[in-house]
């Protein structure tokens, strides 16, 4: 058993608490990882808020991390101690019907236990002050050591800077993949990206790499426009600057609508606007943001009858074990940006400040 520091969420709506936790050794087909760097994501904040119906407490959050394998359980063959890895909240077992189908990346092998905050055998590897602590998204990267299933880990280039590539564990991969895998943006196309946080910027990067000629960024926070343009946005607009709905503005700006739109916020009203901003006959809108529990999307069916397509994406459609190492290689060869997404680097004990910076849009 390893004793180390972890940021524990004891209950919903309270700040994370830095505690000494016990991390049990990995069982069969499990891997214990020394986490070197982790990022914070709105999904962590959503669960911490208490709004997530799958949220269970006390829990160690975090799902964008990178580290070094410390030890492996019986039967683990893909990684060994000393390997550099990224934990994966979307695993890839290679055996379930989802993994065998090229149309999806949503491996279901450990979905049920992962959703309950437990390891595949139905137990936890974390304890603190004599209490069992739940896992989160199969990763729990807000701990100096974590244990994950062996199908939830990608071995990456040992030379990669872990304080940067941890972002490929969720946000960057999700946005970039939404553009290149889910939408399959084509050269010369016009795109609209709603929400210019980390995921939105990654979508913009993907649209640009795919050859889009016009990329319109949409956000209420104008402080985000300069960064969006650095990533490839050709122009940025705020819905607050117009009297009419933003979808009407976009349709007018683009001679009938955009070819591809992306919702990167998790707001069902914006999801509707993103669909209705698409061009009749061929426009495709991709939902990337995760809306709160119980919310529903709506539009007039005529929007779809007249040739628009509504799609969604999880982890950018990447089959994780296969593709995360390739994304790291693409970053190392400067094909995709990663460093530019990092705005602040804080010590672990300032993790609550990281959440405050995220909520402030900084």
Tokens representing residue 219 in the block: 């956000």
pLDDT in tens, 145-190: 999 999 999 999 999 999 999 999 999 999 999 999 999 999 999 9
Pick from 149, 155, 138: nearest CA to 73: 149
pLDDT confidence of residue 153? 98
- Report strand pairing: 153-155 vs 190-194: unpaired
pLDDT confidence of residue 192? 98
Sequence-distant (≥ 6) Cβ neighbours of residue 111 within 8 angstroms: none
CATH homologous superfamily of 2-169+319-352 equals: Medium-chain alcohol dehydrogenases, catalytic domain (3.90.180.10)
Q: What is the CATH number of domain 173-314?
A: 3.40.50.720
Give percent of the chain above pLDDT 90: 97
Cα three-residue angle 223-224-227, rounded to 5 degrees: 120
Cα three-residue angle 155-204-44, rounded to 5 degrees: 55
- Distance set, CA 160 to CA 196, 329, 338 (Å): 26, 9, 11
Q: Which residue has the tokens 């092998």?
A: 109
pLDDT confidence of residue 53? 84
- pTM for this model (two decimals): 0.96
Pick from 263, 262, 309, 322: nearest CA to 107: 322
pLDDT in tens, 201-235: 999 999 999 999 999 999 999 999 999 999 999 99
> Can you give the residue ranges of every domain in the chain?
2-169+319-352, 173-314
Tell me if 330 sits within 8 A of 100, measured CB to CB.
no
pLDDT in tens, 286-342: 999 999 889 999 999 999 999 999 999 999 999 999 999 999 999 999 999 999 999
């Amino acid at each position: 058993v390893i004793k180390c520091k972890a940021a524990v969420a004891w209950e919903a709506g309270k700040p994370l608490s830095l505690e000494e936790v016990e991390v049990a050794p990995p069982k069969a087909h499990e891997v214990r990882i020394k986490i070197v760097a982790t990022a914070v994501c709105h999904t962590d904040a959503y669960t911490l808020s208490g709004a997530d119906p799958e949220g269970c407490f006390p829990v160690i959050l975090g799902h964008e991390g990178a580290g070094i394998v410390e030890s492996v359980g019986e039967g683990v063959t893909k990684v060994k101690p000393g390997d550099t890895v990224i934990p994966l909240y979307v695993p890839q077992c290679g055996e379930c019907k989802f993994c065998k189908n090229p149309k999806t990346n949503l491996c279901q092998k450990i979905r049920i236990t992962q959703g309950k905050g437990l390891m595949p055998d139905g137990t936890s590897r974390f304890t603190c002050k004599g209490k069992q602590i739940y896992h989160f998204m199969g990763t729990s990267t807000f701990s100096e050591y974590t244990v994950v299933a062996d199908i939830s880990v990608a071995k990456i280039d040992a030379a990669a800077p872990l304080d940067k590539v941890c972002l490929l564990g969720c946000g960057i991969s999700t946005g970039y993949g939404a553009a290149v895998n889910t939408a399959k943006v084509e050269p010369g196309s016009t795109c609209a990206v709603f929400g210019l946080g980390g995921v939105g910027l990654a979508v913009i990067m993907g649209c640009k790499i795919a050859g889009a000629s016009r990329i319109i960024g949409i956000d209420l926070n104008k402080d985000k426009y300069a960064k969006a343009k650095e990533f490839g946005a050709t122009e940025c607009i705020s819905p607050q600057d117009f009297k009419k709905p933003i979808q009407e503005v976009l349709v007018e700006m683009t001679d009938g609508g955009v070819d591809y739109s992306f919702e990167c916020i998790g707001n069902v009203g914006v999801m509707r606007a993103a669909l209705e901003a698409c061009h009749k006959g061929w426009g495709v809108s991709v939902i990337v943001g995760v809306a709160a529990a119980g919310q529903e999307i709506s539009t007039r069916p005529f929007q779809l009858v007249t040739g628009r397509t509504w799609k969604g994406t999880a982890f950018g459609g990447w089959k994780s074990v296969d593709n995360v190492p390739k994304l790291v290689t693409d970053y190392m060869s400067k094909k995709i940006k990663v460093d530019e997404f990092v705005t602040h680097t804080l010590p672990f004990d300032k993790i609550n400040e990281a959440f405050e910076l995220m909520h402030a849009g900084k």
